Amino acid sequence: MVMNQQHPSSAGTSAGRPPKRPLDTVVKLALGVLFSSFALIWGGMFLSRPDRSIPPYSIGSQEGSIVAVHVPSWTSDTEIQTLIERFRKVGTETRNFGPMKIRPTTADDPKGRYQRIAIYIFTDEGWTEPDMLHKYVTGEDPAVRDGFEGSARGYYKLDEQEEEGRIGPAPKGKDSAATAAYSRQLFKGPVATSPAASPITPAP
């Protein structure tokens, strides 16, 4: 009786896995470039990450010294106050709002590029559109002006000598008492050289 005999070398090849081929040089280079790209992207995101001590915000529009800022709808009054305090810190220390994405408001003033500024903070981005801000600045529509000031969630104003910060609708002069229930003044008074030495009288 004749039995089929399997050659040892062929048996070993069929039972085991084929030997692994080393990675081609081109493949190694491609993988190296891929992982390097991911590392660069991650590093760039880490280094340019936003300041987490203030809420995220964007400059919706700007006309002259008037700036309309948008923050997410879930931003709390406490977070908006933190943002206003950051504007105050910049205004009293450097008066350079460029790093905060605001263009010069008094570019032709020899005393400085940010001698006057009024920042309105909104959670409804519709009020930060350039057309809406233009109507507010020109005063061509009283309803727009009232709606603009009444819809603000925060307000910061700075001129050469004084500054003011407020949570809620912007002040309306004699009509400010009408919004007192929805508004809270944070500070108002002369501009100091630093917040620590500021003579500004806080609101009760």
Residue with structure tokens 């009760």?
A: 204
pLDDT of res. 204: 42
* Terminal CA-CA length for the chain: 111
pLDDT digits (tens, 9 = 90+) for 133-164: 999 999 888 889 889 999 999 999 999 889 99
Half-sphere exposure of 168 toward its Cβ, with a 13 Å CA cutoff? 13
pTM higher than 0.85 for the full model?
Answer: no
**200 DSSP assignment:** P
Domains in the chain: boundaries? 22-51, 58-202
Out of 52-56, 65-69, 175-179, the most confident range is 65-69
C-alpha–C-alpha distance, residues 1 and 4, integer Å: 10
Q: How many CB atoms lie within 10 A of CB 170?
A: 23
- Phi and psi, residue 25, nearest 5°: -60, -40
pLDDT at residue number 165: 93
